[in-house]
Structure 1
Amino acid sequence: MGEFALIEWIRKHQKRRRDVVLGIGDDCAVINVSSDKLCLITTDMLVDGTHFDLKKCAIRDVGRKAIACSISDIAAMGCQPTVAVISICFPEHTTKKFVRELYAGIWHISDKYAIEIVGGDIISGRGPFCINVTMLGKDNELKPILRSGARVGDKILVTGKLGGSILGKHLSFEPRLKEALVLNKNFTIHAMIDISDGLSADLNHILEESGVGAVLDEDQIPISPAAVKLSKKTGYTPLYHALSDGEDYELLMTLSKVQAKRILSSDLLNDVKVSCIGEIVKSNGIWMKSSGGNIRPIKPHGYEHL
């Protein structure tokens, strides 16, 4: 059973409380805590050897990434992160320097985004280093943007450039929180997600939750220089990496043609590149349109943990 199949199985067997506005199936769960206030909850676990390699990177960067991943989840809902709890499994014989460097990375980014670490759990074991962050956020009178709102005729927009994150961006990315809040406050976004598993895989999450399909314009996919560089090592095309590589943590959204045009002509997102890469259609699946106008189906591909 793959990761997404397992999640869907759990989702189908999970009972729902009345105060749960949104449960399994999106970037965050949404809980109704009062008549006019919503609480968002997300959690991310990072394990040495899977999400990073401590033989090749600094533990300070790992601490930063652990917090940044959860910030990105709440940004994908267009809302504001507030507090976090952190659970850590340290390998036996972990040094004080290791711990201090880890928390230097954690506090550096949590302070930057005004997030307070309010608790957690610490253990030691024989396994690899593991860190889990659970983060809470609030709506601030903004309606959370779900994956399930894409409509036929919507344009598909994405921030930044994609692919090749393994060459460094997977540790140093900046969560698109400021941009997400600007988008939610000033435009009508129908559906949004952060790109953690890969463009095609995460777009497919939106399509499945919304019951629609998509046609992508091959020439409009924003390919990063890192994807081009990585392609020379792997033999895959830069486009393949832009479609399939995980951990770009850019925002992928759908919205009406009118709203898309407003965003593309706006200066509210400052220097962040925004690209229109396709359109939502009625037929299921993802389709790729070449520069010559030929349309072919493509299979969603990205990172899966199981």
Structure 2
Amino acid sequence: MGEFSFIQWIRKQQKRRRDVLVGIGDDCAVIDVSSDKLCLITTDMMVEGTHFDLKKCTIRDVGRKAIASNISDVAAMGCQATVAVISVCFPEYTSERFARELYKGIWDIADTYHIEIVGGDTISGRSPLCINITLLGKDNGLKPVRRSGARVGDLILVTGSLGGSILGKHMHFEPRLKEGLLLNKNFTIHAMIDISDGLTADLYHILEESHVGAIIHEDQIPISEAAVRISKTTGNTPLYHALSDGEDYELVVIASKGQARKIMESDLFSKNIFSCIGEITDSRDIRMKYTNGHIKRIKPQGYEHLKS
């Protein structure tokens, strides 16, 4: 069983409460806590050896990444992050200085986004370092942007440049919380997701939830310099890395052609932050239009924790 088929199995077994507006299958769950207020909930776990290597980064970097990845989920819903609870399993004989550095890394970015740490749990055991953060957010009167609203004819936008995050961005990215909020406040966004598993893998989540397909254009994919550098050692093309490398934590934004044009022309955002990479279709798959004019179906690729 693969990771995503396992999640689908859990989803099918779960009974939905009336106050759960969005459950399994999106970046955050959304709970109706009163007649006009919504609570967003997301959680992420990081394990030493899988998500980070303490021989290549500091424990402060780990703390920063742990909460930043959660903030990115709230950004993908176009809402505001508010408070977090943190659970950590430290390896036996961990020093207090080490533990404090982890929290300093968390506070580095939590303070930037006005997020308060309100609780959690701390234990130790015979295991690698493991940290789990649950982050809550609020809608501030906005409707959370889901994965399921993409429509045929919509354009596909992405922020930033993609690929090669393992060369450093995966630990030091800036979550697009500001951009997510601006998009939701000022434009009509049909669907949105952050890129954690890989561009094609995460775009495919939108296509599945929206029951649509997509065509993307080879010459419009914003390839990062890191993707070019890493391609020289892996033997894969920079395009391959831009399409399938995870942990870029950029946003995929789906909007009508008119709204997409307004977004790209808006002075609310940094210049050239958005690239239009394709269009939503009724094909139920992802197709690539290459620079030679050929169109070919491509398989969504990205990181998956459980392998089939």
TM-score using structure 1 length: 0.99
Q: Distance in 2 between matches of 1:209 and 1:132?
A: 26
- 1:54: how far off? 1.0
Tell me which residue corresponds to 1:259.
259
- 1:272: how far off? 5.7
Q: Match for 1:103: what amino acid?
A: Y
Are residues 1:23 and 2:32 paired? no
- 1:284: how far off? 1.2
Q: Distance in 1 between matches of 2:120 and 2:100?
A: 16
Tell me which residue corresponds to 1:187.
187
Are residues 1:128 and 2:128 paired? yes
> Once the two structures are superposed, what CA deviation does each residue of 1:187-226 show, in whole Å capped at 9, x if it has no partner?
1000000000000000000000000000001000000000
Tell me which residue corresponds to 2:225.
225
Task: Pick closer, same or farther for the CA change 1:49–1:86 going to 2, 3 Å.
Answer: same
Q: Secondary structure at the match of 2:253?
A: strand
Q: Match for 2:116: what amino acid?
A: E
- Structure 2 runs not aligned, ≥5 long: none
Q: Match for 2:227: what amino acid?
A: A
Identity across matched positions, percent: 75
Aligned-CA RMSD value: 0.7
Tell me which residue corresponds to 1:76.
76
> Once the two structures are superposed, what CA deviation does each residue of 1:213-264 show, in whole Å capped at 9, x if it has no partner?
0000100000000000000010000000000000000000111000011011
- 1:292: how far off? 2.4
Q: Distance in 2 between matches of 1:150 and 1:292?
A: 28
Q: Distance in 2 between matches of 1:63 and 1:125?
A: 19
Q: Distance in 2 between matches of 1:218 and 1:209?
A: 24
TM-score using structure 2 length: 0.98
Q: Secondary structure at the match of 1:112?
A: coil
Tell me which residue corresponds to 2:53.
53
> Once the two structures are superposed, what CA deviation does each residue of 1:69-115 show, in whole Å capped at 9, x if it has no partner?
00000000000000000000000010122111111101111111000
Q: Distance in 2 between matches of 1:179 and 1:204?
A: 22
Q: For 1:22-41, what aligned pairs fall within 5 Å after superposition?
A: 22-41=22-41
Q: For 1:96-135, what aligned pairs fall within 5 Å after superposition?
A: 96-135=96-135
For these two proteins, the number of residue pairs brought into alignment is 306
- 1:160: how far off? 0.1
> Once the two structures are superposed, what CA deviation does each residue of 1:39-67 show, in whole Å capped at 9, x if it has no partner?
00000000000000112110000000011
Tell me which residue corresponds to 1:296.
296
Q: For 1:202-217, what aligned pairs fall within 5 Å after superposition?
A: 202-217=202-217
Tell me which residue corresponds to 1:142.
142
> Once the two structures are superposed, what CA deviation does each residue of 1:21-42 show, in whole Å capped at 9, x if it has no partner?
0100000000000001000000
Q: Secondary structure at the match of 2:111?
A: helix
Q: Distance in 2 between matches of 1:99 and 1:9?
A: 37
Q: Match for 1:234: what amino acid?
A: T
Q: Distance in 2 between matches of 1:291 and 1:230?
A: 22
Tell me which residue corresponds to 2:7.
7
Tell me which residue corresponds to 2:162.
162
Tell me which residue corresponds to 1:151.
151
Q: Match for 1:14: what amino acid?
A: Q
Q: Match for 1:77: what amino acid?
A: M
Q: Distance in 2 between matches of 1:291 and 1:245?
A: 21
- 1:293: how far off? 1.7
Q: Distance in 2 between matches of 1:84 and 1:267?
A: 32
Bigger mean CA offset, 266-275 vs 226-235: 266-275
Q: Secondary structure at the match of 1:145?
A: coil
Q: Distance in 2 between matches of 1:271 and 1:34?
A: 39
Q: Secondary structure at the match of 2:106?
A: helix
